[in-house]
Amino acid sequence: MRLLILSNRLQATVTEENNSVIVKSSSGGLVTGISAYLATLKDKNYLWIGWPGGSNYNDRQAVEEELCKNYHSLPVFVEEKTMDLFYNGFCNKTIWPLFHYFPYLTVYDEKMWENYKEVNAIFAEAVLKIIQPDDVLWIQDYHLMLVPQLIREKQPDVSIGFFLHIPFPSHEMFRLLPRKWGKEILQGLLDADLIGFHTYDYTQYFLRCVLRILGFNHNMGMLALEHKLTKADTFPMGIDFDKYYKAANLASVNREKALLKKGLQNLKIIFSVDRQDYTKGILKRLEGYELFLKNNPAWHQKVSLIMIVVPSRIGVEHYQKEKDIINQLIGKINGDYGNIHWTPVIYQYRAIPFEQLVALYNISDAGLVTPLRDGMNLVAKEYVAAQKEKKGVLILSEMAGAAMELGEALIINPNNREEITEAIKIALEMPLEEQARRVTAMQERLKKHDVKKWASDFFEELAKTKEEQKKYGTLRLEENELEKLFDQYNKTDRKILFLDYDGTLVPFADKPSGAVPGKKLLEIIRLLSEQSGVDIVIISGRNKKELENWYDRYPITLVAEHGVWIKKPKKEWKLSRELKNDWKPRIIQILENYKDRLPYSTIEEKEYSVVWHFRNSDYSLAGLRVKEFVDDMVQFTARNDIEVLMGNKVVEIKCSGVNKGEAARQLLSGQDYGFILAAGDDHTDELLFQALPEEAYTIKIGRQKSFAHYYLESTDEFLEIIEKMSGYRKGLFQKIFEYFKRS
Ligand code: GDG
């Protein structure tokens, strides 16, 4: 398996000087993380594809050769102007601010969107030129959200993973994007096999946007789309723990530490480092520190804040403005509080070498990480990992994804200056044992969930999703397969047929009460039920009464309300397990409201479920209302033991864990059937198909993708099959023959 990493920027930035190619490493969280993972790969069977940081090279071939030979990389050349509009346009003026909850900085510009699509297509083309069917393609981050779809169109079976390094915003924020863009972005992403996010919340927000905008619900993150299965899941990115932990022993780091200590003498040090970005909360940090100095004169001349800010996105105007304000505020703090012996803020606006970074992590008494929003934030994790002597207090914003894993840090809200101020004081005065307790607990976690684990968890899940997909494909039940089916049916002694009712045995009618079984169907059921060794199960969402009225005269099993009730031949109805229905009145109350806003829809109340029918309603309005309702239900179902089931133009709310699959499992338990057949037409039957053994004949009525092995076009086609099994025609000829004989 060859791994292809695709990201906007390569890990290396390439320039030309005096006709030779110069390669320098790029900075940023994505590059740090992915490089750390790739360094752990023994076989080095990977290729990193991305923009090399420039376009106007005199000798592109030399750049290509250098990157290929020494860096396992393939450059994507994009014209400077196009790339500039891409990076400083849709990427960093639209997606970046919006996904970080800065809607007032977000620009909505059709030209930028067109350019985003154009550049995504250029990246996809570069991949398509070299990708092999058994490669694994791992696409990184928000710059390339349309690429999965562009690759999938040409390579339907290749493994594609996507990882988003920034937050995925809530629907309220995402919907600010023009509808068409939002839709295309989600569709673009959904053609990956696995879409990964740093935190559970981002995953949920994404799934909710998919539901609200595209109408697909999920089951434990798995989305059964019309053409494929796709999974969305959470993979909090780790760091190369040992690299930071062990670096404290390096001679080069020790040298740096000695130099720093000499210069800083007995000052306590608060340290911060980030790319210059308004999301990182650099100004709030300074304001918090300023207030700390104001409130705590006793700490004057005893503490300094060392702040490293790495230049970033220089072409975007907000960044320039912010840089100026940072400069002013630092000047003010140093002017107001400092003197010739003491500089309260030691500031550097440039990147520092790794050794210096680790030395600063290690000697500082507190790490101050205050983003207003951050996908993960690796600096916080690195800070903790570098504390070999188990000291140093991390102050961390609750708005960083990392806060989910680093609970022993002093967690603050960066919008509140007072919280930052207090945390600084607590950190500087924290006893060493307390520091050690906190650092140790966090280090253990970071060591266990390092970057290698992050990537291997992702690939493991990707492989699993690929396996699941194999089960999610149906074949038409053709003549030759049918012959085998009949052959097996005829030669097997014990057989069982699970037959869904609406849409499988009878076509849909305008009203549920209109879909009654005809004479011919009833005759087929009778004949089947009288065959020896055949168990018939009508397994439906209908209520007990209807099923009983139609079928109780035959020796067959009935399963009502999607598995809530089971009635064996000549026995009473039994609940499949103990259930509650005290939630029903509240649901009906909510549903009434939706019903009023969707003309021609109706509510049906069953004993343990409630159904909202909208077969006769306007198609597009129904789509909208149902998405809203299902979304509303997400809150409700989380607190109650109930679930929402999307059927064919119906939504059913029922007790969770009760479904056709469970009912089938109960009926099969302890039995030894040589022939199992199940037929159904909608989502609710998918659990039935999944519950049955591999050798069962599972048949979907309709062409949609399914966990069934086969599909048929219509109920008529299916009826022909059971008609043949039942010997209905033979019986009919016999009757005609007897009639003529008598007369
Ligand atoms: C994005 C998301 C997410 C920084 N300055 C220097 C330097 N660095 C290194 C740090 C760290 C990395 O850059 C920064 O990573 P972060 O995660 O903190 O932030 P972003 O760059 O915004 O990363 C972020 C990340 O992607 C991964 O998914 O966590 O939320 O925004 O590794 O050490 N390294 C050196 N000198 C510096 O001056 N040597």
What spacing in Å lies between the alpha carbon of 280 and ligand 1's midpoint? 11
What spacing in Å lies between the alpha carbon of 376 and ligand 1's midpoint? 9
* 396 Cβ below 6 A of ligand 1: no
Question: Apex CA 228: angle with CA 226 and CA 230, to 5°?
Answer: 115
Tell me the pLDDT band of 189, cut-offs 50, 70 and 90: very high
* 144 Cβ below 6 A of ligand 1: no
Quote the mean pLDDT of the chain.
92
For ligand 1, pick from 24, 275, 355 the residue to mutate: most ligand atoms within 8 Å of CB.
275
Nearest to 131 by CA among 1, 22, 243: 1
* 529 Cβ below 6 A of ligand 1: no
Higher local confidence (pLDDT), 264 or 111: 111
Higher local confidence (pLDDT), 704 or 126: 126
Q: Which atom of ligand 1 is nearest to the CA of 380?
A: 18
Q: What does the pLDDT read at residue 314?
A: 72
Higher local confidence (pLDDT), 502 or 512: 502
* 281 Cβ below 6 A of ligand 1: no
Q: Are 181 and 213 in contact (CB under 8 A)?
A: no
Rounded to the nearest angstrom, the gap between the alpha carbon of residue 299 and the centroid of all alpha carbons in its chain is: 46
What average pLDDT does range 227-253 have in this prediction? 93
What spacing in Å lies between the alpha carbon of 36 and ligand 1's midpoint? 12
Tell me the pLDDT band of 19, cut-offs 50, 70 and 90: confident
Cα dihedral across residues 12, 15, 16, 22: positive or negative: negative
Q: Are 552 and 525 in contact (CB under 8 A)?
A: no
Cα dihedral across residues 32, 34, 40, 41: positive or negative: negative
pTM of structure: 0.81
Q: Give the span between the Cα atoms of 733 and 710, in whole angstroms.
A: 31
φ and ψ at 392, to 5 degrees? Answer: 100, 130
Q: Which atom of ligand 1 is nearest to the CA of 237?
A: 28
Q: Give the span between the Cα atoms of 370 and 155, in whole angstroms.
A: 43
* 28 Cβ below 6 A of ligand 1: yes
Greatest Cα pair distance, the chain, in angstroms, is 125
For ligand 1, pick from 101, 102, 277, 377 the residue to mutate: most ligand atoms within 8 Å of CB.
377
Q: What does the pLDDT read at residue 733?
A: 59
Burial of 301 (0-12, 13-18, 19+ CB in 10 A): middle
Minimum CA distance residue for ligand 1 atom 6: 351
Whether residue 191 is predicted with pLDDT greater than 90 in this model: the reply is yes
* 385 Cβ below 6 A of ligand 1: no
What average pLDDT does range 339-353 have in this prediction? 94
* 374 Cβ below 6 A of ligand 1: yes
Q: What does the pLDDT read at residue 588?
A: 93
Q: Give the span between the Cα atoms of 117 and 431, in whole angstroms.
A: 54
Minimum CA distance residue for ligand 1 atom 10: 379
Q: What does the pLDDT read at residue 507?
A: 87
* Other residues' Cβ atoms within 10 Å of the Cβ of residue 458: 19
What spacing in Å lies between the alpha carbon of 743 and ligand 1's midpoint? 94
What spacing in Å lies between the alpha carbon of 581 and ligand 1's midpoint? 51
Q: Which residues contact 249 (CB under 8 A, 6 or more apart)?
A: 388
Least confident stretch, 214-228, 562-576, 634-648, 665-679? 634-648
Q: What does the pLDDT read at residue 123?
A: 98
φ and ψ at 140, to 5 degrees? Answer: -110, 125
Q: Which atom of ligand 1 is nearest to the CA of 277?
A: 22
Nearest to 551 by CA among 576, 573, 584: 573
Minimum CA distance residue for ligand 1 atom 12: 29
Task: From residue 48, give the alpha-carbon distance in Å to each of 31, 51, 152, 639.
Answer: 11, 10, 19, 45
What average pLDDT does range 2-7 have in this prediction? 96
Q: Give the span between the Cα atoms of 625 and 629, in whole angstroms.
A: 6
Nearest to 374 by CA among 88, 164, 206, 231: 164
Q: What does the pLDDT read at residue 735?
A: 62
What spacing in Å lies between the alpha carbon of 381 and ligand 1's midpoint? 10
Q: What does the pLDDT read at residue 444?
A: 96
Q: What does the pLDDT read at residue 682?
A: 86
Q: Which atom of ligand 1 is nearest to the CA of 239?
A: 32
* 378 Cβ below 6 A of ligand 1: yes
What spacing in Å lies between the alpha carbon of 310 and ligand 1's midpoint? 10
Q: What does the pLDDT read at residue 504?
A: 95
Q: Which residues contact 335 (CB under 8 A, 6 or more apart)?
A: none
What are the tokens at 628? 């809203």
Q: What is the pLDDT of residues 721-742, one digit of tens each?
A: 999 999 877 655 566 666 666 6
Q: Which atom of ligand 1 is nearest to the CA of 28?
A: 21
Higher local confidence (pLDDT), 735 or 194: 194
Whether residue 408 is predicted with pLDDT greater than 70 in this model: the reply is yes
* 280 Cβ below 6 A of ligand 1: no
What are the tokens at 439? 């650092």
Exposure of 598 in the CB half-sphere (CA atoms within 13 A) = 28
What spacing in Å lies between the alpha carbon of 538 and ligand 1's midpoint? 59
* 32 Cβ below 6 A of ligand 1: yes
For ligand 1, pick from 256, 370, 376 the residue to mutate: most ligand atoms within 8 Å of CB.
376
**Bridge partner list, 711:** 476, 700
Q: Are 673 and 533 in contact (CB under 8 A)?
A: no
Q: What share of the chain is helix, strand, coil (3-state, %, to 5)?
A: 50, 20, 30
- Which H or E element spans position 212? none
What average pLDDT does range 473-493 have in this prediction? 90
What are the tokens at 530? 């009288």
Q: Are 643 and 464 in contact (CB under 8 A)?
A: no
Instruction: Map 354-374 to HEC letters.
Output: HHHHHHHHHHCCEEEECCCCE
* 402 Cβ below 6 A of ligand 1: no
Q: Which atom of ligand 1 is nearest to the CA of 379?
A: 18
Q: What is the pLDDT of residues 144-153, one digit of tens each?
A: 999 999 999 9
Higher local confidence (pLDDT), 646 or 594: 594
The answer to whether 500 is a known catalytic residue is: yes
What spacing in Å lies between the alpha carbon of 382 and ligand 1's midpoint? 10
Whether residue 349 is predicted with pLDDT greater than 70 in this model: the reply is yes
Minimum CA distance residue for ligand 1 atom 1: 29
Q: Which atom of ligand 1 is nearest to the CA of 27?
A: 13
Q: Are 648 and 682 in contact (CB under 8 A)?
A: yes
Q: Quote the radius of gyration of the chain (alpha carbons, Å).
A: 32
Minimum CA distance residue for ligand 1 atom 39: 354
Q: What is the pLDDT of residues 617-650, one digit of tens each?
A: 887 788 888 888 888 887 777 667 788 887 778 8
Q: Give the span between the Cα atoms of 289 and 591, in whole angstroms.
A: 52
Q: What does the pLDDT read at residue 516?
A: 85
Tell me the pLDDT band of 173, cut-offs 50, 70 and 90: very high
* 379 Cβ below 6 A of ligand 1: yes
The residue type at 34 = I
What spacing in Å lies between the alpha carbon of 379 and ligand 1's midpoint? 6
Whether residue 201 is predicted with pLDDT greater than 60 in this model: the reply is yes
Q: Pairing mode, if any, of strands 534-539 and 495-499?
A: parallel
Higher local confidence (pLDDT), 26 or 284: 284
What average pLDDT does range 43-51 have in this prediction? 93
* 375 Cβ below 6 A of ligand 1: yes
* 354 Cβ below 6 A of ligand 1: yes
What spacing in Å lies between the alpha carbon of 27 and ligand 1's midpoint? 7
Q: What does the pLDDT read at residue 732?
A: 57
* 166 Cβ below 6 A of ligand 1: yes
Q: Which residues contact 595 (CB under 8 A, 6 or more apart)?
A: 601, 602, 603, 612
For ligand 1, pick from 166, 274, 352, 378 the residue to mutate: most ligand atoms within 8 Å of CB.
378
* 288 Cβ below 6 A of ligand 1: no
Domains of the chain: 3-234 (3.40.50.2000), 248-448 (3.40.50.2000), 476-577+658-731 (3.40.50.1000), 584-655 (3.30.70.1020)
Q: What does the pLDDT read at residue 627?
A: 83
Q: What does the pLDDT read at residue 664?
A: 96
Nearest to 229 by CA among 242, 238, 237, 220: 220
What spacing in Å lies between the alpha carbon of 28 and ligand 1's midpoint? 4
Counted residue by residue, the chain has a size of 743
Minimum CA distance residue for ligand 1 atom 27: 29
Q: Which atom of ligand 1 is nearest to the CA of 353?
A: 39
Point out the catalytic residue in the list 193, 500, 535, 682. Answer: 500
φ and ψ at 160, to 5 degrees? Answer: -125, 125
